[in-house]
Amino acid sequence: MTPVEYAGSYVPLRGVEMSAAMSSTLDISFDIRGGLLMRQIHHWAALLFVAAIGLHMLRVFFTGAFRKPRELNWAIGFVLFVLAMAEGFTGYSLPDDLLSGNGLRIIDGMLNAVPVVGTWITFLLFGGEFPGNDIVGRLYTLHILLLPAMVLIFIVLHLMFVVIHKHTQYPGPGKTEQNVVGYPVLPVYAAKAGGFFFLVFGVVALIAATVTINPIWNYGPYDPSPVSAGTQPDWYIGFADGALRLMPPGLETVWLGYTWSWNILIPMLVLVVFLLLAFIYPYVEAWVTGDKREHHLLDRPRNAPVRTAIGAAGVTFYAVLWAGASSDIIATHFKVTMEGVINTLQALLILGPVIAFMITKRVCLALQKKDREMVLHGFETGRIVRLPGGEFVEVHEQLDEYTRWQLVSFNDNAPLQLKPNPLGKITASARFRVAMSRFFFEDRIAPVSTKEYQAALEHSSH
Amino acid sequence: MATNEHGSSDVVPVTPSSGAVVGTGVVPADAFENPGLPPHRPRVTDLDPKKKKRAARFIVAMFWLSVLGSVSAIFAYMFYPIEDGSISSVRLNTLFVGLSIALSLLAIGIAAVHWGKAVMADKEGVDERHPVRGTAATRSRAVEIFKEADEESGFSRRTLIRGGLIASLVAFPLPAIALFRGLAPMDVDPNTELKHTMWKKGLRLTQDPTGTPIKAADVTIGSAFQVIPEGLVDLPEHEKLDAKAKAAVLLVRLKPEDLHWTSKERESWSYDGIVAYSKICTHVGCPVALYEQQTHHLLCPCHQSQFDIANECKVIFGPAARPLPQLPITVDSEGYLVATSDFTQPVGPSFWERSTTCASHPHHRKRVSSHLHRTTWMSAPAFQAPSRSSVARSSPTTGRSSSVR
């Protein structure tokens, strides 16, 4: 970017040499009425955008909405999630301030570690040596043209599939795989969805009017030498930064005469694998169950214990990486040693997901047991009755049929048995699928059947 | 008939309407029957016309409140102008324009949602779904079409044509990759650039950002200086940052007996307890900007790598793998600190070719000599009283301070 001498309204930076990008951002902030408000609405909205996508993905995951016929739409949504992060990062880098410049420096350092082509990729990306003069202009093109165009295309695809498939629906009385129950788009749904748009926009405007975000005038223009303590990326990049921070020291080797920076390659690989697993999860589950039916009724998370537990493990893994990006802030705010925080998070990164998996699975199974109990034995009314014999009992009442339906109608899977194929052979892939099927469905609480229910009724009437 | 992979007696495979495979799904024979939609529960606004009227009035009021918000945003824009140099005027403008817009938006949202929930007809609809999966006839016809196309084109049969097609499709995007080479200057090799900095024998160590040379006598024990090479401040702005991104140095003075060296040669790179280390982290390149005076540790604020100055800046914690490169220094005849050479290894983050040797690129040599030319011409700049901000920036840091330049 062309360097200029800042001459705008923000007095402390007057006369400071900076890029035209930084200067124009300051002009928007301090010399145009409502300019700072627009910048803050834009930035807060970007944070909320990625957060909303994340929440939506979690909802879709934990309710099994990604199952047939919506696997492809999950993949499209996942691409949108990645595009949103890319949009966020490119936009955040545009003001060319000290904080975003250091963010780009980290990208430069990470890309440099890529075997064989890393040096050239960074060199071409930055148009020469870091920081060069081209990167902000290039990111600008990505941010305002290429990435938004891709976001638009994928949103159109995403919504097209929603129209084709119609919405999933939560399980409940009257809802089946063959129908869709709800308010029509016109007028109720349109009024509500349109209203929610204004509510969200209003909340963003309220936050932007009152809470400063990304005060680049405090950071100053980019300079490769200074940096502020407590540097943090925008929240959605935190998990990647945390992955870098949690690597133990000394992981670099020179092999075959070339440098292998494991301290950067491993975190990059971990992130790619983590995102890839999330991307292909619907296909993995579909392969394990072999279920080709269409599923329009959602699962209550408890009724898919292992899926819910996998989700909880994934969320824990992400959360620990995310906390890792704030290791220094945690240390200074809670007055603990930074080494202690990092070592704890390193341990949690490995153990946390395992613990989260086990606890979540057990909680789901316990909730399923409770549901069975409620269906078979009814609920405690809190009404105490004295029997003719002087005995006090609490009256149990059966659930009404609608509540009962909620608890007995869920999608159930049983683990596969290992059987030879028609040729009488047991293949390795069959073994693997059986092992996976056991992992998913071995601990299983089946829904109450009418037989069991009748038996329980007879038993209680004795 | 749908297939189920269990086949046990209590599990009866039931044909779903689509005829799809059930897999490990269990379709129980004695499942409960769906009781159907629960009876409709009327809303209070349906039961009590007064309440409906009140809801309608509230919605109207909200919409007009929104109009008020929009109008007041325009007034706020007019009556809270930005005055030159006044931060508080920016704050007031942002606050009042923002609050008014927020009011306008929130009121529309509340009105619309309330309208939908309390006043519009409360009729849930039930639509039939159509299976996404095509009928068996459609599916087999699709397969047939592909088969026919294959036969008519000879795609499977004519292997030579097919091979040619695949080869040409693989090759056609290659020129685009080659074109990317033009994204960076053609006559520069990144591998060479990354292995050299502006430092060279005899170049003075100067303060960042003023460019004032540093006398060894002025570096007191425990102090820290942010250092750039002499002549860097005179580079054109766009070259300045590139050069600084590699050449930034942190200068500290310890008691000579506190410094532990692995060789006599390394010791000779320091001067009377004064040592100069690259400030660019060997992890991913952030400036290692925090100096803990008591422990002689340097800390990178980006990923918390820690380096021990007393032990040749070796990594003692964090993700970095290599020590910070040391800049060999001495003093010149006037007592100013000067470099005795460039760094002896590449500075900053690792890269693939880092450990390979490479001859100095002719282009690079040219650029360095032009720097030198400029700097010798400039001669030592007259001593300037540093501005207040630069004093604050380069004053020695005590303890772990919040931010260091």
Q: Where exactly are the structural domains of chain A?
A: 3-223
In this complex, which of A191, A408, A446 lies closest to B115 when CB atoms are compared?
A: A191
**Residue A383: partners with Cβ closer than 8 Å, 6 or more residues away:** A394, A395
In this complex, which of A106, A177, A195 lies closest to B302 when CB atoms are compared?
A: A106
Q: Under DSSP, is residue A350 helix (H, G, I), strand (E, B) or coil? A: helix
**Residue A158: partners with Cβ closer than 8 Å, 6 or more residues away:** A73, A76, A77, A80
How many angstroms separate the CA atoms of A375 and A3, rounded?
73
How many angstroms separate the CA atoms of A139 and A126, rounded?
10
In this complex, which of B5, B80, B302 lies closest to A416 when CB atoms are compared?
A: B5
How many angstroms separate the CA atoms of B271 and B388, rounded?
29
| Closest to A23 (Cα-Cα) out of A234, A222, A211 | A222
How many angstroms separate the CA atoms of B399 and B18, rounded?
72
Same domain, B109 and B17: no
Please report residues of A whose CB lies closer than 8 A to that of B86. 9
**Does residue A245 have a pLDDT over 50?**
yes
User: Which of A129, A200, A211, A231 is the best mutation test for B, with the most CBs of B within 10 A?
Assistant: A129
Q: Min CA distance, B350 vs chain A (Å)?
A: 6
The CATH number for B388's domain is 2.102.10.10
Q: How many CB atoms lie within 10 A of CB B91?
A: 14
- Average confidence score pLDDT of chain B: 85
**Does residue B218 have a pLDDT over 60?**
yes
What are the residue ranges of helices labelled H in A166-237?
190-210, 216-219
| Closest to A9 (Cα-Cα) out of B388, B89, B92, B389 | B89
Q: How confident is the model at residue A49 (pLDDT cuts 50, 70, 90)?
A: very high
Same domain, B279 and B389: yes
**Does residue A43 have a pLDDT over 50?**
yes
Same domain, B99 and B231: no
How many angstroms separate the CA atoms of A402 and A406, rounded?
7
**Does residue B357 have a pLDDT over 90?**
no
Q: Min CA distance, A381 vs chain B (Å)?
A: 22
pLDDT at B10: 41
**Does residue A277 have a pLDDT over 50?**
yes
What interface predicted TM-score (ipTM) does this complex get? 0.93
**CA B24 from centre of chain:** 44
Question: pLDDT (tens digit, 9 = 90+) per residue, B45-68?
Answer: 999 999 999 999 999 999 999 999
Residues 42-61 of A with CB under 8 A from B: none
- A-B Cβ pairs (cutoff 8 Å, strict): 413
- Is the bond preceding residue A187 a cis peptide, omega within 30 degrees? yes
Same domain, B23 and B65: no
Outline where DSSP puts E strands in A140-213: 179-182
Residue B312, CA distances (Å) to B139, B278, B308 in order: 71, 11, 7
* Whether A173 and B20 lie within 8 Å, measured CB to CB: no
Element holding A228 (H helix, E strand): strand A227-228
In this complex, which of A127, A164, A401 lies closest to B35 when CB atoms are compared?
A: A401
Q: Which residues of A373-407 are buried (b: 16+ CB within 10 A; e: fewer)?
A: ebbbebeeeeeeeeeeeeeeeeeeebbeebbbbbb
Residues 296-335 of A with CB under 8 A from B: 296, 327-328
Q: How confident is the model at residue B339 (pLDDT cuts 50, 70, 90)?
A: very high
Q: Which chain B residue shows the shortest CA-CA distance from A36?
A: B94
* A85 secondary structure, DSSP code: H
Q: How confident is the model at residue B131 (pLDDT cuts 50, 70, 90)?
A: confident
Number of structural domains chain B divides into: 3
* Whether A244 and B246 lie within 8 Å, measured CB to CB: no
Residue B166 lies in a domain: no
How many angstroms separate the CA atoms of B302 and B282, rounded?
12
Q: How confident is the model at residue B363 (pLDDT cuts 50, 70, 90)?
A: very low
pLDDT at A98: 94
* Whether A289 and B320 lie within 8 Å, measured CB to CB: no
- B297 near B308, Cβ under 8 Å? yes
Asked if the C-beta of A167 comes within 8 angstroms of chain B's C-beta atoms, the answer is no
Please report residues of B whose CB lies closer than 8 A to that of A251. 319, 321
Asked if the C-beta of A180 comes within 8 angstroms of chain B's C-beta atoms, the answer is yes
Range of the domain at B20: 1-31
Residue B157 lies in a domain: no
Q: Min CA distance, B217 vs chain A (Å)?
A: 24
* Whether A178 and B128 lie within 8 Å, measured CB to CB: yes
Same domain, B256 and B367: yes
Residue type at B282? T
Residue type at B93? N
Q: Under DSSP, is residue B3 helix (H, G, I), strand (E, B) or coil? A: coil
Question: pLDDT (tens digit, 9 = 90+) per residue, B376-391?
Answer: 333 333 333 333 333 3
Q: Which chain B residue shows the shortest CA-CA distance from A203?
A: B102
- A297 near A169, Cβ under 8 Å? yes
Domain boundary among B61, B86, B119: B119
- Structural tokens at position B105: 């938006």
Residue type at A68? K
Q: Min CA distance, A204 vs chain B (Å)?
A: 8
Same domain, B19 and B113: no
Domain boundary among B119, B153, B172: B119
Same domain, B50 and B27: no
Domain boundary among B119, B151, B176: B119
* Whether B32 and A124 lie within 8 Å, measured CB to CB: no
Same domain, B23 and B63: no
Asked if the C-beta of A163 comes within 8 angstroms of chain B's C-beta atoms, the answer is no
pLDDT at B134: 86
Number of residues in chain B:
405
Residue A91, CA distances (Å) to A42, A136, A143, A221 in order: 10, 10, 6, 16
- Calculate what percentage of chain B has a pLDDT beyond 90: 73
Q: Under DSSP, is residue B317 helix (H, G, I), strand (E, B) or coil? A: strand
**CA B78 from centre of chain:** 38
- β-bridge partners, B337: B331
DSSP for A231-290 reads: ----GGGHHHHHHHHTSPTT--EEETTEEE-HHHHHHHHHHHHHHHHHHHHHHHHHHHH-
Q: Which chain A residue shows the shortest CA-CA distance from B227?
A: A225
Same domain, B54 and B25: no
Mean pLDDT of A161-189: 93
Please report residues of A whose CB lies closer than 8 A to that of B286. 102, 105-106, 109, 227, 231
Maximum distance among all Cα pairs of chain B, rounded to whole angstroms: 100
Ranking A238-242, A362-366, B9-13, B37-41 by mean pLDDT, the lowest is B9-13
Q: Please name the fold of domain A3-223.
A: Cytochrome Bc1 Complex; Chain C (1.20.810)
Q: Which chain A residue shows the shortest CA-CA distance from B105?
A: A202
DSSP for A152-175 reads: HHHHHHHHHHHHHH---B---TT-
Residue B62 lies in a domain: yes
- Is the bond preceding residue A69 a cis peptide, omega within 30 degrees? yes
- Output B237 or B203, whichever has higher pLDDT: B203
Angle between helices A450-461 and A338-377 (to 10 degrees): 70
* Whether A227 and B286 lie within 8 Å, measured CB to CB: yes
Same domain, B213 and B327: yes
How many angstroms separate the CA atoms of A201 and A207, rounded?
10
Same domain, B303 and B387: yes
Residue B85 lies in a domain: yes
Same domain, B288 and B201: yes
How many angstroms separate the CA atoms of A277 and B271, rounded?
55
Q: How confident is the model at residue B5 (pLDDT cuts 50, 70, 90)?
A: low
**Does residue A330 have a pLDDT over 70?**
yes
Strands B297-299 and B25-26 come out as unpaired
